[in-house]
């Protein structure tokens, strides 16, 4: 990478794909490098598709808050978990963000920075180290290209399993008493792996109800699961008046991590580049760390020591998380998987937060393997948790 950007380039940063990853990079650059030249290319006419992204307290690094703080559309003080034989509250901010909200943030940031340009409705057909070619033949040259064209381009998951879900955003007939999300309620019939409900209460009469499976198979019968959700809503204390929106996801939980980023342009970023948590299929935490890195360091140092530190750290985390998937999807089936999840949530709140943020320490890894493992007698595990 040259120390100074050649005058003949069209942009300092070319961001390919206007999904979560590049939206975060653009927002970070808007805060840290407002006079940079940034082009974001997205084939659709809006940013971020059709999602609700949830994230936990440590998923946004503290240092990133000057630009990442605005991502918090909804926030709750913690969340609840219910299993057949136990329940628990996890303390620590739980947050969410919708595509519409992200779209607005990105448009506002770009509109107030003269060097920032959003090219919506632009299909990119090829991506190279120093630029891209669009479907209409236009060639754009950039000093750094970030290719984040989303899950369609992700490497096959290989052995492992899937977190798959159908979510219905609903208007309720009567106000919900819920003050915080239910991250997992598995007090329902178990089938197709581990099955549970997830509820986000956005307001008194608007909630997202998701039915989720940790399954060995990717198939999803959206119509049947939507019916199940409506049938189960009463058990969750929710009276549905109307379904406003449906969200469907099949996120690979690979048993082997593919995260091996090259230290050169174009950066394979976002989901396709393996910047996600293999243990959850969620990518916001890893995407925020990449955005923080790209926006902090000078262009000439993007692949320097700090890049090597960040990618090494995430590789270790991804390896550990994928190993947990290997254990779960190969050895824990049916009721054993449900009990495994219940045991995992015996670990302390900080261990849970670091697990989601891909910041587990070696001691955390030991705790997850020891406290969270069904082969450790419950009494020993409890004592280890209390000591931790
Ligand atoms: C239903 C669902 C719910 C999820 N919920 C969460 C969650 O709660 N928390 C979390 O952390 N993660 C979540 N994830 C996982 C992950 O965060 C998302 O998949 C995330 O959107 C990935 O970000 P990305 O930028 O890599 O890809 P995307 O957000 O998919 O963005 C890729 C973009 O590239 C564009 N594109 C593709 N090809 C081209 C091309 N040739 N030219 C131009 N543009 C192109 C696409 O139109 C798209 O806008 C969820 C995933 C799904 C599917």
Three-class secondary structure of residue 29 per DSSP = helix
Nearest Cα residue to atom 7 of ligand 1:
53
Sheet containing 52-56, strands listed edge to edge, beginning at the edge strand earlier in sequence: 52-56, 87-98, 74-82, 182-185, 194-203, 206-215, 160-172, 240-254
Asked whether 149 lines ligand 1 (CB < 6 A), one says yes
pLDDT digit string, tens, across residues 333-371: 988 999 999 989 989 999 999 999 999 999 999 989 887
pLDDT per position as a tens digit, 12-42: 999 999 999 999 999 999 999 999 999 999 9
Mutate to test the pocket of ligand 1, among 15, 16, 19, 39 (most ligand atoms within 8 A of CB): 19
Question: What's the CA gap between 371 and 382, in Å, rounded?
Answer: 7
Query: What's CA 304's distance to the chain center, in Å?
Result: 26
Pairing of strands 139-147, 267-268: parallel
Contact between 102 and 23 under an 8 Å Cβ cutoff? The reply is yes
**Ligand 1 touching residue 166 (CB < 6 A):** no
Cα end-to-end distance, the chain, whole Å: 45
Is 282 close to ligand 1, i.e. is its CB under 6 Å away?
yes
Q: What are the structure tokens assigned to 210, written together? A: 């998701």
C-alpha span between 335 and 105 (Å, rounded): 43
The full set of domains in the chain, from first to last, is 11-72+89-155+255-316 (3.50.50.60), 160-254 (3.30.70.1990), 334-387 (no CATH)
C-alpha angle 58-60-61 in degrees, rounded to nearest 5: 80
For 41, counting Cβ atoms within 10 Å of its Cβ (0-12 exposed, 13-18 middle, 19+ buried), the class is buried
Peptide bond between residue 69 and the one before it cis (omega within 30 degrees of 0): no
Does the Cβ of 51 fall within 6 Å of ligand 1?
yes
Our mutation pick for probing the ligand 1 site, out of 26, 51, 210, counting the most ligand atoms within 8 A of Cβ, is 51
Q: Is any atom of ligand 1 closer than 6 Å to the C-beta of 53?
A: yes
Which residues in the chain land under pLDDT 70? 1-7, 153-159, 372, 376-388
Q: Which of 45, 53, 254, 291 to mutate to test the pocket of ligand 1 (most atoms within 8 A of CB)?
A: 53
pLDDT at 155: 59
Going by CA atoms, what residue is nearest to atom 35 of ligand 1? 17
Contact 106, 30 (CB under 8 A): no
Phi, psi angle pair for 183, to nearest 5°:
-75, -35
| CB of residue 280 inside a 6 A radius of ligand 1 | no
203: β partners: 206
Q: Whose CA is nearest to atom 14 of ligand 1?
A: 282
Helix spans in the chain (H)? 20-32, 65-68, 99-111, 222-232, 284-296, 305-331, 335-344, 349-356, 362-370, 378-387
CA 284–ligand 1 middle distance (angstroms): 10
Residue 250 beta carbon below 6 angstroms from any ligand 1 atom: no
**281 CA closest ligand 1 atom index:** 15
| pLDDT tens digits along 50-93 | 889 999 999 999 999 999 999 999 999 999 999 998 999 999 99
């Amino acid at each position: 990478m040259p120390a100074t950007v050649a005058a003949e380039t069209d942009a300092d940063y070319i961001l390919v794909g206007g999904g979560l990853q590049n939206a975060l990079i653009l927002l970070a650059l808007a805060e840290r490098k407002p006079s940079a030249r940034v082009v974001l290319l997205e084939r659709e006419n809006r940013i971020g598709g059709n999602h609700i992204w949830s994230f936990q307290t440590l998923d946004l690094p503290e240092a990133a808050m000057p630009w990442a703080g605005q991502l918090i559309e909804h926030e709750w003080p913690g969340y609840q978990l219910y299993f057949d034989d136990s329940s628990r509250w996890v303390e620590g901010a739980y947050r969410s963000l919708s595509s519409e909200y992200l779209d607005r943030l990105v448009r506002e940031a770009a509109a107030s920075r003269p060097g920032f340009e959003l090219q919506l409705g632009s299909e990119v057909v090829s991506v190279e180290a120093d630029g891209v070619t669009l479907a209409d033949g236009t060639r754009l040259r950039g000093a750094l290209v970030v290719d984040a064209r989303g899950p369609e381009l992700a490497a096959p998951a290989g052995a492992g399993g899937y977190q798959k879900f159908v979510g219905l955003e609903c208007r309720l007939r009567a106000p919900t008493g819920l003050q915080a999300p239910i991250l997992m309620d598995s007090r329902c019939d178990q089938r197709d792996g581990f099955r549970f409900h997830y509820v986000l209460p956005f307001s008194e009469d608007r909630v997202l109800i998701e039915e989720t499976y940790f399954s060995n198979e990717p198939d999803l019968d959206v119509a049947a699961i939507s019916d199940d959700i409506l049938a189960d809503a009463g058990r969750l204390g929710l009276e549905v008046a109307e379904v406003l929106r449906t969200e469907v996801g099949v996120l690979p939980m690979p048993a082997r991590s593919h995260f091996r980023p090259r230290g050169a342009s174009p950066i394979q970023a976002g989901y396709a580049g393996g910047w996600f948590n293999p243990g959850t299929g969620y990518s916001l935490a890893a995407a925020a760390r990449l955005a923080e890195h790209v926006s902090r360091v000078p262009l000439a140092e993007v692949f320097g020591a700090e890049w090597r530190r960040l990618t090494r750290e995430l590789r270790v985390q991804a390896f550990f998380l994928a190993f947990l998937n290997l254990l779960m999807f190969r050895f824990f089936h049916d009721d054993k998987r449900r009990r495994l999840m219940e045991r995992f949530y015996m670990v302390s709140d900080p261990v849970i937060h670091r697990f989601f943020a891909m910041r587990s320490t070696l001691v955390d890894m030991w705790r997850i393997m020891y406290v969270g493992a069904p082969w450790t007698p419950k009494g020993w595990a409890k004592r280890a948790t209390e000591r931790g």
